[in-house]
Amino acid sequence: MVPGLEQYLILSAFIFSIGLFGAVTKRSAVVILICIEIMLAGVNIALVAFSRFITPVELTGQSFSVFVIVVAAAEVAVGLAIILALYRQRHTIDTDKIDLLKW
Amino acid sequence: MGLQIAFWMLSAAAVIAAAGVVWQKNLFRAALLLVVCFLATAGIFVTLSADFLAAAQVIINVGAVAILIIMSIMLTREVTRGSPANRLGVPAFFLTGIVAAAIIFAVFKTSWPLSGDLPAEPTSSALAHLLLGAEGFELVIQMGALLLLATIIGAIVLLKENK
């Protein structure tokens, strides 16, 4: 059986959920960023699968995937800069200890 | 047949690598497994005949993002501390299970307007027309350039030494 749209979307759902689980349960800020990257990779698979099976000639989904990659790169750069700035001030990046804004 | 084998092997690699990132206690190995996950994703893009995106994924995510993450792990000395989990493990597991079940339910309940056309190959020229052409997403591309500039300036300002 040649993999169709459903198989790709289920794979995307699995990868997204694994990333979500990691992002919710991990305490190290760097690992949370890594898990968000995994979530974005899952979303990219879904977008490219839509592009392949629904608009194979117009490639609309792939153009959205390009924007996702651009925004992910920007997010990682700023996120790691914030983490390094936090580490300089507080010598930890444990999210259980960075709770100034926590109610 | 070859496409089928490639799809199952690459998806197994991607899911196992993603799960490994979550389960792995060693932070450095988690970052290396992220690279494996990105590479498998690039391979899945190839099976979807998205050649340009596969190359972009390898260059940007495997090349740049992974290096940035590994460097920040080194700079924060978190390797000694590992990647501990918080107390939300069980509720988060059920939450993500519900999310995955909802997505899969929606996938099977929706009737997708499938198109039988053969995919455009190579995709780079069609993508270039779509992204940079007069009727395409030209404004969004320029906003993306602005976003990257703002990111660079923001990262420099955040990490500047306060004198």
d(C-alpha B82, C-alpha B110), whole Å: 42
Residue B28 lies in a domain: yes
Please give the residue range of the domain that contains residue A51: 5-90
pLDDT number for residue A44: 93
**Is the per-residue pLDDT at B147 higher than 90?**
yes
Residue B122 DSSP symbol: S
Q: How many domains does chain A have?
A: 1
CATH code for position A58: 1.10.287.3510
CB atoms closer than 10 angstroms to residue B59: 12
Encode pLDDT of B111-142 as tens digits: 888 877 777 778 888 888 888 887 778 888 88
- CA proximity to B4, closest of A14, A85, A3: A3
Is A17 part of any domain?
A: yes
Q: Is residue A69 part of a domain?
A: yes
pLDDT at A15: 93
B146 pLDDT tier (thresholds 50, 70, 90):
very high
In a domain, B141, yes or no: no
- The answer to whether position A99 is within a domain reads no
Give the pLDDT score at B163: 60
Mean pLDDT score across all residues of chain B: 86
Mean pLDDT in chain A? Answer: 87
Q: Can you give the CATH number for the domain in which B28 is found? A: 1.20.120.1200
**Which of A1, A9, A21 to substitute to test the interface with B, most B CBs within 10 Å?**
A21
Question: In this structure, is residue A66 part of a structural domain?
Answer: yes
Lowest mean pLDDT segment, chosen from A15-19, B22-26, B147-151, B158-162? B158-162
Residue contacts between A and B (CB atoms, under 8 Å): 239
Q: How far apart are the first and last CA of chain A?
A: 52
ipTM of this predicted structure? 0.90
Token output for A97: 């200890």
Quote the pTM value: 0.89
* Residue A101 domain flag: no
| Residue B78 confidence class, pLDDT cut points 50, 70, 90 | low
Answer whether residue A16 shows pLDDT above 90. Answer: yes
Q: How far apart are CA A60 and CA A16, in angstroms?
A: 21
Can you spell out the DSSP letters for A3-20? --HHHHHHHHHHHHHHHH
DSSP 8-state code for residue B25 = S
- State the Cα–Cα distance between residues B100 and A87, nearest whole angstrom: 34
Structural domain includes residue A103: no
> Which residue in this structure is represented by tokens 């995106």?
B53
Q: Do B76 and A30 touch (CB under 8 A)?
A: yes
Residues of chain A neighbouring B113 (CB-CB closer than 8 A): 54
What proportion of chain B, given as a percentage, has pLDDT over 70? 95
Instruction: Provide the domain count of chain B.
Output: 1
B65/A76 touch (CB, cutoff 8 Å), yes or no: yes
Domain region containing B35: 2-110
User: Does B153 fall in a domain?
Assistant: no
* Cα of A71 to nearest chain B Cα, Å: 8
In a domain, A95, yes or no: no
For B87-115, the pLDDT digits (tens) are 778 888 899 999 999 999 998 888 888 87
Report which of B140, B104, B127, B129 is spatially closest to residue B50, judged by C-alpha positions. B127
